[in-house]
Amino acid sequence: MQQFDENLIKSKPLLLKYQQILLEWQKKVNLISNSTINDIWQRHIMDSAQLYPLIPSKAKILLDVGSGAGFPGIVLAILNKTLNGPLKQVFLVESDLKKSLFLQEVNRQLGLNVEVLPKRMESVDIAPDVITARAVAAVPELLKLVDKNVSRETLMLFLKGKNVDKELQNIPKCYMIQKKQSLLSADGCVLMIRKGKHG
């Protein structure tokens, strides 16, 4: 937790700038639920940031599925920039045009190593080292969406809520799944998933 807090402190100026841009755009585009606007820092930014220490030191390419308002993809790109992290490229997949324009504007203003892909995941042909997702789909559906982009070296990091055990009931045996308790929520967890040798 100490490392987590130190990461946030070092990255706070850029993260606050991102929060400011988000709040400006929220007036015109529905990026996040209005009920969470007063709790962006903990509910969205800190929740996303807990994935950063789990990114392998040799990872070069991260692919964020259904980026929406940029959680976790933009947050991870900010941390990677301010902490001189290993990632050379962060791809944000977002099919909603208004949200993808928002992500491009954040990237422009903050000078991140991000490329926004305004398309559906099915048409993305990238082989990343890490795949992230938050509030996109149930785990079985997510795994189908990214299957063609996954090798045995790929680490998937999915932020999930209290229904996670139900979602994990019918997962193919080729996936190795580790569940870590969320640092922010008693109901939340992080799934660390890799494809096994039979995948």
Q: Domain with 63 in it: what CATH number?
A: 3.40.50.150
What pTM does this model have?
A: 0.95
* CB burial of residue 4 (10 Å; 0-12, 13-18, 19+): middle
- Collapsing DSSP states into helix, strand and coil, what is residue 166? helix
Model pLDDT, residue 135: 85
Give me 149's structure tokens. Answer: 């982009």
> In the prediction, which pLDDT does 199 show?
45
Share of the chain above pLDDT 70, in %: 98
56-89 pLDDT, tens digit each: 999 999 999 999 999 999 999 999 999 999 999 9
Query: 179 pLDDT band (50/70/90 cuts)?
Result: very high
**Cross-strand pairs, 94:** none
Measured distance CA(185)–CA(187) in Å, rounded: 5
Residue 124, classified by CB atoms within 10 Å of its CB into exposed (0-12), middle (13-18) or buried (19+), is middle
In the chain, the number of structural domains is 1
Q: Identify which of 47, 49, 54 has the alpha carbon closest to the alpha carbon of residue 14.
A: 49
Give the domain extent around 170: 2-195
24-33, 58-67, 159-168, 182-191: range with highest mean pLDDT: 58-67
What are the structure tokens assigned to 170, written together?
């019918």
